[in-house]
Structure 1
């Protein structure tokens, strides 16, 4: 049973968290293009925001299967699992508290039809903060993946 849970955990992480990570990373690039007046970038922003929202919800399956896997393996109380869980909560907080609202604000500004020059001052700063939050989100997931592979203190750690 542990093998099945682990397999589902890994597949769900790759498919859903991977999609969110890519969409979050690409959003600032297309936001800059849209704010510079490229009307073709606005549909890309809408798509990236939708992918981020939908896959963020679907990504909730990752910790569910992760906890089930850790429990079945008897490692739920191990430091690397607890640290991974804390980092997952941090990533979720960055996504829900900074990235998604930031994307929504930028998308509203880019789709408003206002002149790009007027949007650049306030919205460009928002895009910069969004890019930093996106990078933070990505780095937190890198740390989680490293913990999942290395598993400090486990008998199979490298």
Structure 2
């Protein structure tokens, strides 16, 4: 009998291949092969006042920075939604969207959710072309955003 871990009450880590991406009003839920860049970082502010008896600085949290999120997907016939969204960029008039990325469990229920606030396409990369290739044509969408929130469950 195979041990599935249920006898010991084991909890297994989640796999990263079952996820969904919702691009707000742009495309509802879209299928992607890869999502990268879900990171956030807080800058360090170092400070030392002049009459401190300790001859070193203290470190305090400063401004939070978020990186761009990159989405990769296959190219489909008559699917120009990314290009339409990108073409809408005109002197700070781009439509910003709330993008929700969900890591799903085996039943399809979200277990971890990343929400990008005020996201907009900053870069689109079309596929490379090669006559001897045997891969799917892929395009890449890079999103700038103004905040990343993470929720479990």
TM norm structure 2: 0.24
- Structure whose residues are more often helix by fraction: 1
Larger-gyration structure (1/2): 2
TM norm structure 1: 0.23
